Structures are given as structure tokens and as C-alpha cells.
Chains A and B, each alone.
Chain A
Amino acid sequence: MEDIVLENVSKDFGVFTAVDGVSLTIHSGELFSFLGPSGCGKTTLLRMIAGFETPSGGTIRLGNQDITDLPPYKREVNTIFQNYSLFPHMTLFDNVAFGLRIKKTPKAEIKDRVREMLNLVKMEDQANKYPDQISGGQKQRIAIARALINKPRVLLLDEPLAALDLKLRQHMLIELMNIHDAVGITFIYVTHDQGEAMGISDRLAVMNQGKIVQEGPPDDIYERPLSIFSAYFIGETNFITGQVKALYDDYLELVCDDGGGKSFELDCSFQHAPAVGSRVTFSLRPEKIAISRNKPRAQDDINMLKGQIEDILYLGSHTQYIVRVGKLKIRVFSQHKRVYFDDKALDWEEKVWLFWHDTDTWMIENDALEQLTEAQLSESGQLSRALKRRGS
């Protein structure tokens, strides 16, 4: 059953377009995330669903009801604010009871329901404290209790974990999932943290420059990014360009230029077939690549490349190798599972083989560079180099 339906929703602030024609359906009971960099329009979208902003165009429906122009206090939607926005002059009990008091709920019922809610968020023994006497994580819980007590159809969460430190963030994420399971209503979650979005969501939408770039389950978006932006923004990846040499049912053969006068051939997976002879970009996640000083046994569905180690970064849980193939630089993550690793550790300047399953080479369909800002481009120098070569 659909719960929130956005139809061609836009929002302009003067000359700046924050949200640009977004259409989307969020199902009842789903935990749906908007993921994107700051300024991508995700918070504006959330604020339009909550009613704090009026869309410049389009409609927003909650179930069968058009709520586009409804003031916030008439919507069955509640929000968890980034800074929690607890009322500083009220006790935690009064904060949680706020919504019920507005509805003139009988005193005894308020008491019971607030207790119940405080139990849900494990804050039952702190009811008489004031917001400035509790920690960030506890404020978070009270904010959740204060919203959920109104029995909203949809709970909106605007970067709810941004103000917490790392350990607490991981802990609260699991707690949020548990609360979602317990109350069973739709959660809409806004974040710029890909880890949070991937971990918590049933489905997510990647947003950039006011538009939805890709939507789907987290694994789908990670494994099969359809655009430069979603591949870049979620996880880390290598971008390589090549020319389509031959096209088969479920894979294609590419010829890639290594920039040093040599070329190599790779097999690549795709969603929609490109024309033979066209130039395409593909994404290859660093952790999918195996690295070894010994040449692996040749197999049909394995891509192989020979290169030389340029840099080794020991990162604790894994090691990052930068491997030079001609003038290309390919990043490889290798976990420290020593049972099937080379006896001797790899060294700088060592000649190595890179190999991976050919379904892990995934063709990007929408490779418009404009999707990335200057800062993002310079951050991934390799990407811009790869794409510049494609243009030339």
C-alpha cells in the first residue's frame, strides 16, 4: 500500500531550485532514506512533507489525501529534528505530553501514554529532568517519544544521528530499526551518511542537485550504480573508460587504453546494451579485486590485469593498494585474511596481478560529469582523468 506519493514536486527559493521535479512513491511501513550531499534538496523535500515549506509545484499525497497545502499542525506526520528541538523550559514528561495536551487528552490517559512511550525509548526514570540535564543520545530518544506518541502515519527523521559521536551513532541506528519494527509505521530518513542509509533502509533514493539520481534497495544501488554520481557517492570505486568491441547477451567486451600506449581487454556487465563501437565508463569497486604476485589460472568469467604497486596504505581492517596499469591507477582493497594470502607481504614497486569476476565490472549508463561538483571532481582526481581521456 502506498503511503506517501510525491508527484513532480519542486521547490524554488528565489532563483535557486532546491528540489526539481521529484516523483516518488513510499510504501506503508517502509523505512525509506533520502541520501545525498548537503544542498542536494533532501532536507527541503522532507520539510515539504512535514509542511514547513510549501512546494512551488507538484502535489504531495498522504494515502488518499492531498496534503500539499495543509499546515504542519494538521498533518498526521511527525518529525525528529536534527538538533532534536526539545522545549528547554519543559520537563521531559511535558515534552512528550505536548502533542496530547494540544488534543485535550484526559490527564490520566496522558500519564499512561507518556509512561508507555518513555518505556519504549528506555527513558522511564528520567521523566522529571529538563533537556539540558540529559545527553545527546537521550535527547534523541525523547524526541522520538515526543513524535511517536501522536501516533503519526509517517515519522520523518532529519539527520537524526548527525549530532552524536560515532559509537553512539551505531548504537542508535540499531535502536531506531528496533523502534521502527515495534511501531510498524513508515519512517522517512534523511542523511548524508551512506553507511547509515545503507544499514537502515529498506529502500533509498540517492539525490543530487534537487533530483533523484537512483532509487532502490541498498544492495542494488551499491552493486549496480546507474550513474557516475551514485557510484561515486556510495562507497568507493574505480572508474575506467573503454570502447565496446563486442556485445553478447549478458556481457560485453571492452578495449581499454592504459594511457601508456598499450591497451587491454575486459568483460563488463550492463543493464541496457550500448552500441558496438561506443565509448563507455564502468565502475569497479576496489574490494572486488583480488591481488597477487602469482598469475591466477585463466577462466572465462574472470578479468585479469597486470600492474605494478605504487603505494600501500595500511588501514587496519584492510590494506589499500594503488596499482599502476600503464598510466591508470587502480585502487584495490585487500582484507587481511592470511589463510589464503601470499606468504610474503606485497611490496612497493612489485609486479602484481589483479583479477575479479566480470559481473563486478558494471557499466554506468548516465555518465554525465555535470552531476559532480568541482570539489567532488578534484577529490577523485582519478575519475576526472579517466573521464577527460574519454572526452579526448
Chain B
Amino acid sequence: MKAKSRPSALEKRKNLSSWLLSLPALLWLLCFFLIPYLIVIIYSFLTPDIYDVKFEFSLAAYRQVFSGGYLRPFFLSFKLAIYTTLCCLLLGFPVAYYIARAREKLKNTLLIFIIIPFWTNLIIRIFSWRIFLSYSGVLNGILMNMGVISQPLEILRTDLAVILVMVYVYLPYMILPLYSVLEKLDFTLLNAAMDLGANEVKAFFSITLPLAVEGIFAGTLLVFIPALGAYLIPQLVGNQRSLYVGQVITYKIKNIPRNWPMASALSLTLLLLVALMLLIMYGLYRRHLARRQTQ
């Protein structure tokens, strides 16, 4: 066997030009993505001041994070992320399936309908739900006119409203990856399964679902992770009794007295949680791939 040849002059020149081409983005991300996280780490060990930080070492922030007082926001955020992901999956799957099975001409139109809300300003979509759900809002008006209720319901500013709007906002993120795997799925397999005696339900669980696993992973990644850091939706449609991590972090920075170290420590904890979730999902995904290969 011959040894692998050393890089030629041409390859070296190409490598150099690649470094030069990527240098601007590399420097940018270094300065404005990596270094800021270093500062977050540093700040988490400092002492808070009313408007700023004092450069005195302190473990107070971490002591507070792990003393239990901040467990509830993490728990709530985690619960919210799980509910949101599950609801998006349950609602999104049939929709993605329906689009994937639609006639070729119709597909693009249906997809556009899914994408339009995705392109509409987030804050406007949340605002529209406030109009719909509020005490004197449309939903209460309709229900009262129909005689279902006599007093307006307090729907806005509940945990349910938060989940509802979260699902509303993140649904397209679940539908699109699901659609892209279902679109590639060979539907003749379903015919084959039914030919072999499976009914629709069995065919779904034995053919469609296993082949859509990759889309489920991608969709979950796109919904679950952002949901963990949600701020705006709980802030606008939730209440102050259940505060989520995103809100707590924001308050520590925006409200006076400021507590930068606390915000930093909470952010790092959230980052750690995200990393953990990513690792778990990566592990599950690897196992899924391994199982598919052994089959």
C-alpha cells in the first residue's frame, strides 16, 4: 500500500484561501458570540451593585441558584417546554402528513399557509391572542352571546394561555421538518403494509412513524430548546404568579436593583440544562440510528 500523499501546493493554497474567506465571520463570532459567554462566566462570580457589578469575587449567585429558591422557574420552564413540544407534535403530525400526501400542485400552497404566520411578526401574533382571549375579548364575547357562560372567563393571564400561544407560535417549526421527512416517505410502503394485512392504525405505527423519527427529532430540537428560554409569551399572556426562567433572568437585568451576577448564574444554569437536553437527544438519536442499522 502506498502512503497517503502529503498535501500538494494547490491544497495548501486552497486551505489558506479558506481561512481568509472565513476570517471575517470567524472573528465576528469570536468577539460577539464566544467572548460574551466568557464575560457571563466572569460576571456570575462577581458581587451585584444597584446598577452595575462590583469586581469582588462572590459565590452568592450560585448559592442562591442551588438553594432552591430558583427551582420553580426552571421547573415551570421545563414543564412548559415539554407540553409545548408534545402538543406541537400531536397537532403537527397530521398536518404535515396531510400536506405531504396532498396533490403536487396543492403542496406548495398549503406550505405557504403554514409559513405565513411564521413570517408574521412574533409580537403581533402574540398580541392578536390577547385580543382573542382577554376579559372583554372576542372569545368571551362569543361564549356569552351563545349563552355558554354568563360571566367572562379569565383565560388570558393563565398558564393555559401561555401553553396555547407557545403551541401557536412554535407549530410551524414542528410541521416543516416533519413535512420534509414525510414528503420523502415512499407511500407505496403503506400500500404494501395494507396488502400484507395491516390496517391504517397498524400501518401508521409500523411504517410511517418509524420512518418519520428524524423529522420528530429535528422538530423537537426546534421547539423544545427555544421554549426553555421563553420570555415574551409568558410575559404578555401569562401572570406574575408563575414566573419562567426567561422572565426571571430578564428581570434581574432590566429591573432595578440590577443583579448581573444572578442573571449570569441563571443563564449559565439554563445553558447547562440546554446542553444536557441536547446530549440526551443526541444519545437517543444515535441509538435510533444504531437500531436501524442492526435491523
Q: Does A391 contact B (CB under 8 A)?
A: no
B2 proximity list for chain A (CB < 8 A) = 12, 14-15
B4 proximity list for chain A (CB < 8 A) = 14-15
Complex Cα spacing A320 to B45, Å: 88
B112 proximity list for chain A (CB < 8 A) = none
Report B1-15 residues with CB < 8 Å from chain A CB: 1-2, 4-5
A14 proximity list for chain B (CB < 8 A) = 2, 4-5
Complex Cα spacing A12 to B5, Å: 10
What sequence of 0s and 1s flags, for each residue 1-40 of chain B, a beta carbon within 8 Å of any chain A beta carbon?
1101100000000000000000000000000000000000
Closest to A13 in B: B5
Complex Cα spacing A14 to B1, Å: 9
What sequence of 0s and 1s flags, for each residue 220-238 of chain B, a beta carbon within 8 Å of any chain A beta carbon?
0000000000000000000
**Number of residue pairs A-B, CB distance < 8 angstroms:** 8
Nearest CB of B to A10, in Å:
11
Q: Which of the four size classes fits the interface of chain A?
A: under 10
Most buried by A among B1, B2, B4: B2
Nearest CB of A to B37, in Å:
40
Complex Cα spacing A15 to B1, Å: 6
Report A1-35 residues with CB < 8 Å from chain B CB: 12, 14-15
Nearest CB of A to B207, in Å:
33
Nearest CB of A to B12, in Å:
15
Nearest CB of B to A356, in Å:
47
Closest to B4 in A: A14
Nearest CB of B to A251, in Å:
46
Complex Cα spacing A30 to B2, Å: 37
Complex Cα spacing A15 to B2, Å: 5
Complex Cα spacing A12 to B1, Å: 11
Closest to B1 in A: A15
Closest to B10 in A: A54
Nearest CB of A to B2, in Å:
5
Closest to A56 in B: B5
Closest to B8 in A: A54
Complex Cα spacing A12 to B8, Å: 14
Nearest CB of B to A150, in Å:
25
A12 proximity list for chain B (CB < 8 A) = 2, 5
Nearest CB of A to B4, in Å:
5
What sequence of 0s and 1s flags, for each residue 302-338 of chain A, a beta carbon within 8 Å of any chain B beta carbon?
0000000000000000000000000000000000000
Complex Cα spacing A15 to B30, Å: 39
Complex Cα spacing A356 to B242, Å: 98
Complex Cα spacing A319 to B239, Å: 87
Report A355-386 residues with CB < 8 Å from chain B CB: none
Nearest CB of A to B260, in Å:
53
Complex Cα spacing A75 to B2, Å: 31
Complex Cα spacing A104 to B294, Å: 60
Nearest CB of B to A68, in Å:
15
Nearest CB of B to A204, in Å:
30
B1 proximity list for chain A (CB < 8 A) = 15
Complex Cα spacing A15 to B5, Å: 9
Complex Cα spacing A14 to B4, Å: 5
Nearest CB of B to A213, in Å:
23
Complex Cα spacing A51 to B5, Å: 20
Nearest CB of A to B243, in Å:
55
8 interchain residue pairs of minimum CB distance? A15-B1, A14-B4, A15-B2, A12-B2, A14-B5, A15-B4, A14-B2, A12-B5
Which residues of B pack against A, CB within 8 Å? Answer: 1-2, 4-5
Extra pairs beyond A14-B5, A15-B1 (6, CB < 8 Å):
A12-B2, A12-B5, A14-B2, A14-B4, A15-B2, A15-B4
Q: List 8 A-B contacts (CB under 8 A).
A: A12-B2, A12-B5, A14-B2, A14-B4, A14-B5, A15-B1, A15-B2, A15-B4
